[in-house]
Amino acid sequence: MTGERGYDCHRDHGPYAGVADLLARIAGDHPRLASRHTVELRAIAPRLDPAARPAAEEEPIRFHPARRTACLAYGAAEFVAAWASTLRHPVMVRFDHVDNADETTRELLDALTRRVASTPVRLDLRDGGADRPVAADPAPEAIRAALGDSLARGFYHHAARTARRGRALVTPDGDLRHWWAFTTGLATALAALDRAAEALDLYHEARAATDDPKITMSAAYATAMLYARHLPAGEQDPARARQWLEQALHLAAGLADPRQRVMSTVFYEQGLALLDSRAGEPARALRLIDDGLARLTAVLAPGERPQDLARLRHNRAQVHLALGDPERALADLDVVIAQDPDNCEYYVDRAALHRAAGRWRAAIRDYDTAVRLGPHLPEAYYNRAVLRHERGRSERARVDLERVLAIDPGHLDARIALVNLHLEGGTADAAEAAARAGLTLAPQEPALLCTLGLIRSERGSLAEAEELLSRALDGDPELVEAWTNRAAVRFDRGELVAAVADLDRAVALSAAPVPRYNRGTALARLGRWDDAARDFADALAQPGVDRALRRDLRAELARCRRALAG
């Protein structure tokens, strides 16, 4: 394969235009290699799966998160890098119309550029390219099908453009059915892209345009979910969400078809259960879900709509957890996974229960499955890394954390964990580099500032360390580690009174023995033997003090008593 022809990336060809052609070509030449990347390749280039149906025909009851495309891009880039490793000679691959590419294409090209930088593959990214014929607007039915497919596959930028194209062709007076499909599709895409306020305006527009009961019912429920979930945290309004849900339920009660009436009512009541659970009323939420499951099971044929039943049982598992009943939660999740075995979210939830119960092998298996189905779900990699670290498998944990950051560079928990892993392994240079890399993305992140401050203090840069730790405390005044570490810096600089003041704050926030040990040490240096002895004794009384610290505490307490006796 050489660059003798370009791959057309223009967004008029849809999501992953151009790059999907490259991936399909490599997959055709290297089927064994492609078999290790089946999930992401089929998501990007569905034609690689001859049995696949259009995504919209799957009738999903939930939509993929927008961040899934970053996971797909990571997997596809790994696939291309694996192919590149088989090449004997350099290869140039040209992509045209990159300036007019869909967001999915640009995201994948960015991932490819980073991943193949040190391989024989070179990417020639060109704006413009060969002239393209201007496509005529397709019929509303075709646009609607394309919109449904993009929404179901989680390609929300393309879905939004498609929906706007459809809305430009029809009006609520002339073609209400298509106009509503394009309007609610646009709102769904915008909500997924964190533009919920714009989605809210569209539902207000729909209510002004029609009083059709099915449309106003759907708009009421969607509006409720915007207020309950999708608006920014400060703008969410559970009371207004409940009002809109009550309106949706009132309209659902008037549906002529008794089966549809039950299904819509049960579906909308799950919104009420969510609000009840968040409001600290899990028992009431559980009653709603149990009742809904009974009614839904009564109207469905055996084996019909398993994903709907799985979603309700998944909701019930969350409520069982809120009620302090992990065994019932686990039983529900086992059934959920049997009903909907391809949903990575369920495996992550079940893995957490296995981990809490000490079943770490079962937890690892579920995280492995979640990674495969996700594909490359950052949360699964991160949680697996934490578990591997707990089991003493630090190298495997490091690999997982680096994968998380390759997929989502802004994943702060993973970056903090990686920095700490480097510190524990004695690789201070790597720890400092990782901390500084994180701070370029989140300059005021307290945990990273605290860790970098600790590193700089251990390297003798006490003034810089104190400044970093002070910034950490500005961002999080309850960060015990920052008070403790800044106290250590001030102690090393001879500022004993300031060190004690910092440790006063740390002790007030935490019963852990280390802040008391450190404060006792500073107080002893100041000759305040009574106060120091009290800190050492209190620290010794804390549960779980390790052997080395217990030995030091006893020695210091004995020294204080000798000083007081003398």
Of residues 13 and 133, more confidence is placed in 13
Average the pLDDT over 371-385 and give the result. 94
Whole-angstrom Cα distance, residue 171 to residue 136?
Answer: 19
Taking 50 as the threshold, does the pLDDT of residue 66 lie above it?
A: yes
pLDDT score of 50 = 74
pLDDT score of 54 = 61
Taking 60 as the threshold, does the pLDDT of residue 422 lie above it?
A: yes
pLDDT score of 43 = 94
Whole-angstrom Cα distance, residue 519 to residue 523?
Answer: 6
pLDDT digit string (tens) for 454-476?
Answer: 999 999 999 999 999 999 999 99
Taking 70 as the threshold, does the pLDDT of residue 323 lie above it?
A: yes
Whole-angstrom Cα distance, residue 158 to residue 17?
Answer: 11
Whole-angstrom Cα distance, residue 144 to residue 173?
Answer: 18
Whole-angstrom Cα distance, residue 538 to residue 510?
Answer: 12
Cross-strand partners of 10 = 101
pLDDT score of 490 = 97
Residue whose token pair is 């990575």: 344
Structure tokens at 309: 């039943």
Taking 50 as the threshold, does the pLDDT of residue 331 lie above it?
A: yes
pLDDT score of 58 = 46
Whole-angstrom Cα distance, residue 540 to residue 517?
Answer: 9
pLDDT score of 374 = 85
Please classify residue 2 by burial: count the beta carbons closer than 10 Å to its beta carbon, then call 0-12 exposed, 13-18 middle and 19+ buried: exposed
Average the pLDDT over 20-41 and give the result. 95
3-state secondary structure (DSSP) of residue 4: coil
Of 326, 328, 298, nearest to 313 by C-alpha is 328
pLDDT digit string (tens) for 69-99?
Answer: 999 999 999 999 999 999 999 999 999 999 9
What letter represents residue 238's amino acid?
Answer: P
Whole-angstrom Cα distance, residue 109 to residue 98?
Answer: 9
Q: How confident is the model at residue 3 (pLDDT cuts 50, 70, 90)?
A: very low
Cα distance between the two ends of the chain: 87
Of 525, 524, 526, nearest to 537 by C-alpha is 524
Rounded to 10 deg, the angle between the 496-509 and 513-525 helix axes is 160
Taking 80 as the threshold, does the pLDDT of residue 137 lie above it?
A: no
Of 461, 464, 507, nearest to 483 by C-alpha is 507
Taking 80 as the threshold, does the pLDDT of residue 208 lie above it?
A: yes
Cross-strand partners of 96 = 8
Question: Which segments within 324-475 are labelled E, that is strand?
Answer: none
Choice among 28-37, 136-145, 282-291, 309-318 with the minimum mean pLDDT? 136-145
Whole-angstrom Cα distance, residue 330 to residue 339?
Answer: 14
Whole-angstrom Cα distance, residue 532 to residue 522?
Answer: 8
Residues 6+ apart with CB under 8 A from 250: none
Whole-angstrom Cα distance, residue 485 to residue 462?
Answer: 11
The count of C-alpha atoms lying within 13 angstroms of the C-alpha of 232, restricted to the half-sphere facing its C-beta, is: 5
Q: How confident is the model at residue 307 (pLDDT cuts 50, 70, 90)?
A: confident
In this structure, what are the phi and psi dihedrals at residue 310, rounded to the nearest 5 degrees?
-65, -40
Helix (H) / strand (E) containing 123: strand 121-125
> 10 Å Cβ neighbour count for 324?
9
Average the pLDDT over 8-30 and give the result. 96
Whole-angstrom Cα distance, residue 528 to residue 543?
Answer: 26
pLDDT digit string (tens) for 166-186?
Answer: 999 999 999 999 999 999 999
Whole-angstrom Cα distance, residue 210 to residue 227?
Answer: 22
Q: Find the radius of gyration of the CA atoms of the chain.
A: 29
pLDDT digit string (tens) for 520-550?
Answer: 999 999 999 999 999 999 999 998 899 999 9
Whole-angstrom Cα distance, residue 385 to residue 371?
Answer: 12
DSSP structure class, residue 394: H
Q: Are 308 and 296 in contact (CB under 8 A)?
A: yes
Q: Are 516 and 536 in contact (CB under 8 A)?
A: yes
Structure tokens at 24: 């399909």
Residue % of the chain over a pLDDT of 90: 88
Residues 6+ apart with CB under 8 A from 523: 500, 529, 531, 532, 535
Q: Are 348 and 366 in contact (CB under 8 A)?
A: yes
pLDDT digit string (tens) for 447-456?
Answer: 999 999 999 9
Rounded to 10 deg, the angle between the 140-153 and 176-192 helix axes is 20
